[in-house]
Amino acid sequence: MRLRDYLNAIIRSASMRWMGLAVLVGLVSGLCAVAFFTAVEYGQHLLLHSLAGQPMPAPAGESIFHMPAGPPRPWLIPLLTTAVGLGTGWLVTRFIPETIGGGTDGTDAMIDSFHNKEGRIRPLAALIKGSTAILTIVSGGSAGREGPISQMGAAVGSWLATSLRLSAKERRILLLAGAAGGLGAIFRAPLGGALTAVEVIYREDFEAEAVLPSVVSSVVAYSLFTFFFGSDPIFGIPQFRFHNVAELPFYVALAFFCSLTGWLYIRTFEFVKFRIFTPLASRAGVILAMGLGGAIMGLLGMVFPELLAGGYGWLELAIKGELAVGVMAGILLGKIVATSVTIGSGMSGGMFAPALFVGGMSGGVVGALAHRFFPDVVTQPGGYVLVGMAAFFAGVANAPIGPLIMVCELTQGYGLLAPLMLASALCILLGKSTSLYEHQVENKFESPAHLGDMTINVLESLRVEDHFVPGRVSTLEECTTLKAITDVMANSNELYFPVRGEGDAITGILGVKDIRRVIFETALFDLVVARDIAGPPATLLPADNLYAALLRFVDTGYGQIPVVRPDDPTHILGLLNREDVFQAYRAALARLRGEEAAA
């Protein structure tokens, strides 16, 4: 009887429940990865290899389809990418318009869902984004498959949790487990995929509660994927070993160079997306903007075929030392531009694989140069490509552990572990001010997903009057024109402006982000007024506690809320910043811990 009771207790335990859910999520996300990978590989061979006559080098672990190359028709590539861009634009605007401008890629959409949408992802959005990502990649668009498959896996976890009526917290955990399953399968790196999924949502933290379900889901998805395609790693490369301490300065140089190219990668993407295609989409429409992005990408790919699709085949050649330094430097810069155009225009696909490509080529350049001038010290320049991949992505995504483990799994060895750790740590340190993912937050304190986990009693004991910034606050009248608003914002350090209406009553709050969508519409400068674009009003009283203030920040999404006099709500005393609430909470916790230690 004792054994039966013990087994029943295990079966009914929360751990076994999570194990079963993680296995189920892993099975479905693994099947999604199998279907996605098959469609991408077959489509690339059919369209690029056979129809356009553009043979693409494939890494050893992904050469699964073999077709005779067709006659060269490079002019077909821009036609294909343009058609895909126009089709993607139509599908997105017609069925999932809420995803327009919604982050960097599928991974960023998953991060946004975790923090801001209670772990909810519409299955239709994941299906359309996944399908159009396949079309983007097979037509030659410079995009990766990891972002879309992580979003599809996350959608599987979200859908399962919703179907079972689980809580928002449980839905978020299954969301990460699904993303981990997709990443672990598509990379054939179960541990690296799981760790990347749980740490990429934060800059300086990770989701500890999701580690076990993510690992289980990733292992199951990986096992299912290898059942169809084998367990060989993506790259067919020799084993690399770090055995000479004198090489460490060169790996330090690699970290600095990867930080530079990482900064260039992010800044180029932001410039192309927000300065070129976002204004273009607001003027000419999303469909034409994506079509233009597809056309530009196609023309680049027609002239420089090394920029087409994910580029893992070129990475393998770089690891084997079969690419010259000039070639690697050229396609490094070209890949940055091509990826920025493809993803920045709104076409579907991931930034993960292009980031590995740019990082690998960055490492290849440093390794080749170091080998040329110090051949007795740097004997395996191909290893710098692998280290560059991990260090670069760790820096741009603020993910120190997952990419490192992933590269070890890709090479099926830990011979480069020491330089991997050193270069990754330096890249993260040097790239603190940048992030590839727009919705990534600093830590759990700044994530809406964990507001309910905070100690409410601590915040309820703190008052707004002790933490807001008193002083004059710039306000806008309801009839203030867009042109005047831009002038006010240009001469103010504030990010949110109360809007006054009749009788000086506060009728709304206008944030800098609210005018982003119309800031380039100069024709509207004298037509749009503050009343048209302001959000709902929100105020606080000095006697309010910080928990009530925190809920107000969550409900409105504002970063600053005006504090008004209790007897005169038109009289603004100052502003309370959202960061002030978190700082007060941290200080209160530190004070409590100090008192406990003293006791």
Residue 445 in any domain: the answer is: no
The band of 362, judged by pLDDT with boundaries at 50, 70 and 90, is: very high
pLDDT tens track for 451-462? 655 555 577 778
Total domains in the fold of the chain: 3
pTM recorded for the entire structure: 0.73
Residue 235 in any domain: the answer is: no
Backbone angles phi, psi at 400, to 5 degrees: -75, -30
- At 596 the pLDDT is 47
Residue 189 in any domain: the answer is: yes
pLDDT tens track for 184-215? 888 888 888 888 888 888 888 888 888 889 99
Q: Are 196 and 225 in contact (CB under 8 A)?
A: no
Residue 238, judged by CB atoms within 10 A of its CB (0-12, 13-18, 19+), counts as: exposed
Answer whether residue 287 shows pLDDT above 90: yes
- At 599 the pLDDT is 47
- At 204 the pLDDT is 80
Task: Out of 194, 229, 264, pick the residue that ends a domain.
Answer: 229
Least reliable range by pLDDT among 238-247, 516-525, 548-557: 516-525
- At 14 the pLDDT is 60
Task: Out of 395, 430, 465, pick the residue that ends a domain.
Answer: 430
Residue 449 in any domain: the answer is: no
d(CA 3, CA 13): 15
- At 98 the pLDDT is 82
- At 11 the pLDDT is 44
* 465 shares a domain with 422: no
- Find the helix packing angle between 417-430 and 382-397, rounded to 10°: 40
- At 2 the pLDDT is 60
Q: Which amino acid is at 155?
A: A
- Find the helix packing angle between 168-187 and 106-116, rounded to 10°: 160
- At 1 the pLDDT is 46
pLDDT tens track for 382-399? 889 989 988 998 888 888
The band of 10, judged by pLDDT with boundaries at 50, 70 and 90, is: very low
- At 268 the pLDDT is 93
Which DSSP state fits 67? Answer: -
* 426 shares a domain with 350: yes
d(CA 568, CA 116): 34
- At 3 the pLDDT is 52
Give 240's contacts (C-beta < 8 A, 6+ positions apart). 380, 382, 383, 386, 411, 413, 415, 416
d(CA 176, CA 194): 8
Residue 563 in any domain: the answer is: yes
* 513 shares a domain with 413: no
Find the mean pLDDT for residues 129-154.
89
Estimate to the nearest angstrom the gap between the alpha carbon of 275 and the chain centroid: 20
Integer angstrom CA distances of residue 328 from 306, 333, 337, 442, 481:
10, 9, 14, 34, 50
* 268 shares a domain with 219: no
* 426 shares a domain with 294: yes
* 256 shares a domain with 128: no
Query: Which of 14-18, 190-194, 518-522 holds the top average pLDDT?
Result: 190-194
Answer whether residue 584 shows pLDDT above 80: yes
The two counts, helices (H) then strands (E), for the chain are: 23, 6
- At 222 the pLDDT is 93
Residue 460 in any domain: the answer is: yes
- Total residue count of the chain as it appears in this document: 599
Task: Out of 229, 261, 292, pick the residue that ends a domain.
Answer: 229
* 424 shares a domain with 291: yes
Q: What is the CATH number of the domain that holds 495?
A: 3.10.580.10
pLDDT tens track for 71-122? 888 899 999 999 999 999 999 898 988 888 767 777 888 888 888 888 888 8
Least reliable range by pLDDT among 146-155, 170-179, 369-378, 489-498: 489-498
Q: Are 199 and 160 in contact (CB under 8 A)?
A: no
- At 147 the pLDDT is 81
> Which of 494, 514, 504 is CA-nearest to residue 577?
494
The band of 271, judged by pLDDT with boundaries at 50, 70 and 90, is: very high
* 146 shares a domain with 33: yes
For the chain, what is the mean pLDDT?
Answer: 84
State percent of the chain over pLDDT 70. 91
Residue 372 in any domain: the answer is: yes
d(CA 538, CA 544): 13
* 132 shares a domain with 34: yes
Q: What is the CATH number of the domain that holds 390?
A: 1.10.3080.10
- At 522 the pLDDT is 63
Sheet strands side by side (includes 560-565): 469-470, 568-577, 560-565
Least reliable range by pLDDT among 184-198, 292-306, 340-354, 484-498: 484-498
- At 73 the pLDDT is 87
* 418 shares a domain with 293: yes
* 150 shares a domain with 34: yes
The band of 494, judged by pLDDT with boundaries at 50, 70 and 90, is: confident
Domain range for 306 is: 245-430
Neighbours of 484 (CB within 10 A): 16
- At 581 the pLDDT is 86
* 261 shares a domain with 219: no
